[in-house]
Amino acid sequence: MATHYYAVTWDQLHRDARALAWRLMDLGPFQGIVAISRGGLIPAAIIARELDLRLVESVCVITYQDETRGEPVITKPPAAAGDGSGFLIVDDLVDSGTTARVVRGVLPHAHFACVYAKPAGRPAVDSFVTEVSQDTWILFPWDTEQQFIEPLARRGGA
């Protein structure tokens, strides 16, 4: 279980994905993007738009169930990307690096970029925008919803 939680808003994710695209501009040109499903789908769409890329492929990897990490399983390989030459891999977050290493094994010649990185996973990626502590669980906007919270005084100070 995570020690800290950090909520990312849609606006912040959009800004951070655009910042990543800015960093990637001079590293191309890229032929296309491989989004790691599911977390990388939205950042990949933003980056594809910013880099004017029309070929968007996906690789589906199951690693987590809620906050529980398991052995990664590729349920859909990125057929259009070949060995990754000329492609950009995009994910929302690199945590331990497990998913990144599995995808790198399939696409060894691609450039791997993620929006957020934890220290243990940083060596597994080529580019990222923001580093967060290893004990932080990022709450992405697709995993949360806004709701009313009672004022502290009405909750008995809890």
Active-site residue numbers? Answer: 91-92, 95
> What is residue 145's DSSP assignment?
-
Helix (H) or strand (E) holding 71: strand 68-76
Distance CA(133)–CA(142), nearest Å, equals 21
Residues 6+ apart with CB under 8 A from 50: 17, 18, 21, 22
Residue 63: which of 114, 32, 101 has the closest Cα? 101
* Cβ-contact 89, 113 below 8 angstroms: yes
